[in-house]
Amino acid sequence: MTNWWVFLLGWPTLLVALALSVFGTFRNRPWNLYTAAILILPVSLYLAATPRFAFVALLAPLALLLAGLAIKRNKINLAIVMVLPVVLFFSWLALIVLQEPGSHI
């Protein structure tokens, strides 16, 4: 029997969270950013267990929550500044994983 919670640690959830964060930022919907922060939390906690990403990974859900609050207070530029590093970090991580020999995502 397959455990459904393993799906929350994978790339599909990360891609959905990044899409929600971009969509929520440009459509001024803070609840999309709150949902993205919840979805990105398992991946961030997994990365926080590694010494290289221990601090950076924990900033991603916090940045998405703060971006949601910024949108709620009508500060769209601040929200973009908070979402952009999260999207760039996880895009960079995906690129690194895809460039590994024998990578299967």
pLDDT digits (tens, 9 = 90+) for 75-84: 999 999 999 9
Query: Global pTM?
Result: 0.86
Q: What angle do CA 69, 71, 73 make, to 5 degrees?
A: 70
Q: Please give the C-alpha separations between residue 50 and each of 17, 45, 46, 53, 57, in angstroms, as whole numbers.
A: 21, 9, 8, 6, 9
CA dist., res. 52 & res. 6, Å (int): 23
In this prediction, residue 65 carries a pLDDT of: 97
Domain boundaries, the chain: 21-84
For the segment 53-72, the average pLDDT, to the nearest whole number, is 93
pLDDT digits (tens, 9 = 90+) for 1-44: 566 666 666 888 899 999 999 999 999 999 999 999 999 998 89
Local structure of residue 3 (DSSP, 8 states): -
